[in-house]
Structure 1
Amino acid sequence: MAFLATSGQWSCRATSSRWLRRGLGLGLLGLMAFAPPPAKKPLRTKNIIIVVIDGPRYSETWGTVPGLIPNMATTLRPRGVFFSNFYNKGFTYTNSGHVALTTGISQPIDNFDQELPQLPSFFQLWRKATGAPATAAWVISSKDKLHILANTLHPEWKDQYQPSVDCGVSGPGTGYRADSLTLEAAKRILTQHKPRLVLINFMEPDGFAHAANYPFYLRGIARDDRYVMQLYNFLRTNSAYKNNTTLFITNDHGRHLDSIDGGYIDHGDGCDGCRHVSLLALGPDFKIGRTVADTCTLLDVPSTAAYLLGLPFGQGQGKVLEPMLKRR
């Protein structure tokens, strides 16, 4: 099954040269400014998987629990840390939200697939730092357009150290695929290649909302809740990932409030419906059964991921999510 969700898309080619001028000059000092003190004992995280459920509104997910997300709300939440005030404070579109999660930078970007991120992703930074092969890092996405996350416009990084990509039906320009197929692709890739750094995009809530199909929008949320549970069970029973894997479950953006023209069908402004998203984090270095009320943002995810892997990430505008770390 494959389908396209094209309504409500946004195109913005207005990017600023200041990102290129900034480059990567912050280096290790930038990381140290936001990082907590070194752990007394070594961190246990060896693998990081970021799951992005594309475009559900908080009011249809964590705002009414267990509701459509019983697996995350009742089974997984007690095993990890939930951030109740988690936001996209930048541009509330798919590509911009995902770029924030992979580069640590909030930037406007074309929302189709005609523009690459200005700075390299932490996939690229990690591959260069470790010498890991392309099969050790993956972008696995229901949306074909998210192949852009593998590369950058930065002249020192363009076409270098890219992660492997499995996006859409069969690559760029082939359309969106069902999330069930993306889950199967993810499990196949995890089994075959045992990557250490992975981003997975599930798109059905966003796709069906843009198609103005409210029942299927809700169905997409419920299905993705089940797919996240299946992925979690896979990770905790697979010898390569058991007890050493951090799982972030978040969103790229929400949707308009009902009081805004179009309501759930679209997104892209600064209303609370578009900005208020969620983060559930599970991993061997995190506290268990904790809810964090501090306001945090998408930009904090890559900064935290980099910290867990010991990767300098000076370009990141976020902070390490210290409240959820164990005191080791």
Structure 2
Amino acid sequence: MKNKYPLFCLFLLGIIVTSQAQSHKTENIFLITLDGMRWQEVFAGIDPLLLNDTTVLADPSELTNLFWAKDKAGRREKLMPFLWNVFKKEGQIYGNRAYGNLVDNANKLWFSYPGYNEVLSGFADDERITSNDKINNPNVTFLEYLNQRDEYKGKVRAFGSWDVFPYIINAERSGIPVNAGFTTATNPSETEKLIARLQSEIRGPWGEVRLDPFTHHFALETIKDEKPSIVYIAYGETDDWAHGGNYEQYILAARQTDQYIQELWEYIQRDAKYADKTTMIITTDHGRGVDASSWTGHGARIPEAGQIWMAVIGPDTQAQGEMKKKGQWQSAMLARTIFTLLGLEYPDESAAPEIKEMIN
């Protein structure tokens, strides 16, 4: 039987599509990663096994005074108070395996370049991304796809402490400005000149990773001056202090990064471009296994080093706090989720599906 009302049906479909497009309030995305930050500390705070390990801490008194509490909820709030006061009340936090809320890498290599490729491109590529070498990423990231669109062209910025990020994002092909490693700002302001000078004078312990304060403040100044719509910030100290077996600095770096995230979110809420129009997502590139004795490492040789976590806050995400729903999520799902939050279709069919729970 022929449809007697074809024009009405098309009209109704148009209303539905328009309504769905208007329902998305997100116009800006801030993606933040903490390199190698364990889910164990995120959900339980400072680790008692490591706190009492004299090979890790000769004197645990400072960390005890700052971060110890009798229960896990108290310890995690002392370690990451912004996450556990603001995200818990207004956003969503995934990855507490005590509830069967599982977040994992899709890749099976469990180290940085494969992890970042997965987060940014939407899928694992264990055949081609097999090292941390400075090789341009053959995959197109969601950042590059957005930078190709007229409404976001020139409004995508990336910052990282690790000097491999220009290759992970493929700055050469994508045209995205990437301030990473020991680079400085182009056409710097007076503040950025000071940051660059301090970066050259304050030498961290690593040759390929700068200290996170420089990454953070370069990012913050660019956000204030240029008002980019899509911002990616990759903090790196948690991973490097962990590799060095320095649990005290690992913990202090996590606490500092939580403060940086707070500073960013509070600025977002004060600025007319960003307030009530910005979604912030936080995650990590890989885990560090489940055994406290091997917390300094990761990669396929460390059992369960693909166990990770993530959090989200924004105008299109229902406030559910700590997610206790049983299920399996992956960091590969974030790329398509970000496009959906922006009201867009992801252009790569091979990318993982969106995280429906993050989208009203």
TM-score (norm 2): 0.72
The reply to whether residue 219 of structure 1 matches residue 252 of structure 2 is yes
The reply to whether residue 283 of structure 1 matches residue 318 of structure 2 is no
The reply to whether residue 167 of structure 1 matches residue 180 of structure 2 is yes
Per-residue CA deviations over 1:268-326 (Å, capped at 9, x if unaligned) read 12766522211110111110134433311101111101112214332443111112322
2:287–2:308 CA contact under 8 A, matched in 1: yes
Q: Secondary structure at the match of 2:285?
A: coil
Q: How does 1:25-44 map to 2 (within 5 A)?
A: 39=20, 41-44=22-25
State the alpha-carbon separation in 2 of the partners of residues 110 and 270 from structure 1. 14
1:144–1:168 CA contact under 8 A, matched in 2: yes
Q: What is residue 128 of structure 1 aligned with on the other side?
A: 148
Q: What is residue 99 of structure 1 aligned with on the other side?
A: 117
Q: What is residue 14 of structure 2 aligned with on the other side?
A: none
Q: CA deviation at 1:47?
A: 0.7
Aligned length: 281
For structure 2, which runs of at least 5 residues remain unmatched after alignment? 1-17, 46-75, 96-101, 185-205
Tell me which protein shows more helix as a share of its residues. Answer: 2
1:53–1:203 CA contact under 8 A, matched in 2: yes
State the alpha-carbon separation in 2 of the partners of residues 179 and 70 from structure 1. 19
Match 2:283 to one of 226, 250, 256:
250
Q: Secondary structure at the match of 1:56?
A: coil
Q: CA deviation at 1:102?
A: 0.9
TM-score (norm 1): 0.78
Q: Secondary structure at the match of 1:177?
A: coil
Instruction: Report the CA distance shift for 1:40/1:170 in structure 2 as closer, same or farther (over 3 A).
Output: closer
Q: Secondary structure at the match of 1:305?
A: helix
Q: CA deviation at 1:174?
A: 6.7
2:163–2:208 CA contact under 8 A, matched in 1: yes
Q: What is residue 48 of structure 1 aligned with on the other side?
A: 29
State the alpha-carbon separation in 2 of the partners of residues 186 and 212 from structure 1. 28
Q: CA deviation at 1:206?
A: 0.2
Instruction: Report the CA distance shift for 1:272/1:67 in structure 2 as closer, same or farther (over 3 A).
Output: farther
Q: CA deviation at 1:67?
A: 4.2
2:336–2:353 CA contact under 8 A, matched in 1: yes
Instruction: Report the CA distance shift for 1:80/1:112 in structure 2 as closer, same or farther (over 3 A).
Output: same
State the alpha-carbon separation in 2 of the partners of residues 112 and 53 from structure 1. 17
Q: What is residue 265 of structure 1 aligned with on the other side?
A: 296
RMSD across aligned positions (CA): 2.5
2:332–2:352 CA contact under 8 A, matched in 1: yes
The reply to whether residue 116 of structure 1 matches residue 136 of structure 2 is yes
Q: Percent identity?
A: 21
State the alpha-carbon separation in 2 of the partners of residues 98 and 51 from structure 1. 11
Q: What is residue 88 of structure 1 aligned with on the other side?
A: 105
State the alpha-carbon separation in 2 of the partners of residues 325 and 96 from structure 1. 26
Q: What is residue 189 of structure 1 aligned with on the other side?
A: 222
1:49–1:198 CA contact under 8 A, matched in 2: yes
1:80–1:280 CA contact under 8 A, matched in 2: yes
State the alpha-carbon separation in 2 of the partners of residues 283 and 302 from structure 1. 16
Amino acid aligned to 2:93 = F
State the alpha-carbon separation in 1 of the partners of residues 90 and 151 from structure 2. 33
Q: How does 1:56-95 map to 2 (within 5 A)?
A: 56-64=37-45, 65-84=76-95, 85-90=102-107, 91-95=109-113
2:146–2:153 CA contact under 8 A, matched in 1: no
Instruction: Report the CA distance shift for 1:121/1:324 in structure 2 as closer, same or farther (over 3 A).
Output: closer
Instruction: Report the CA distance shift for 1:166/1:311 in structure 2 as closer, same or farther (over 3 A).
Output: farther
Q: CA deviation at 1:63?
A: 3.2
- For the pair shown, the structure with the greater C-alpha radius of gyration is 2
Q: What is residue 69 of structure 2 aligned with on the other side?
A: none
Amino acid aligned to 2:86 = T
Q: Secondary structure at the match of 1:235?
A: helix
State the alpha-carbon separation in 2 of the partners of residues 263 and 127 from structure 1. 40
Amino acid aligned to 2:135 = E
Q: Secondary structure at the match of 1:280?
A: strand
Q: CA deviation at 1:147?
A: 1.3
1:138–1:197 CA contact under 8 A, matched in 2: yes
Q: CA deviation at 1:167?
A: 0.3
Instruction: Report the CA distance shift for 1:223/1:162 in structure 2 as closer, same or farther (over 3 A).
Output: same
Per-residue CA deviations over 1:195-227 (Å, capped at 9, x if unaligned) read 111211011110101112111111111111111
The reply to whether residue 139 of structure 1 matches residue 158 of structure 2 is yes
Q: CA deviation at 1:38?
A: 7.8
State the alpha-carbon separation in 2 of the partners of residues 198 and 174 from structure 1. 25
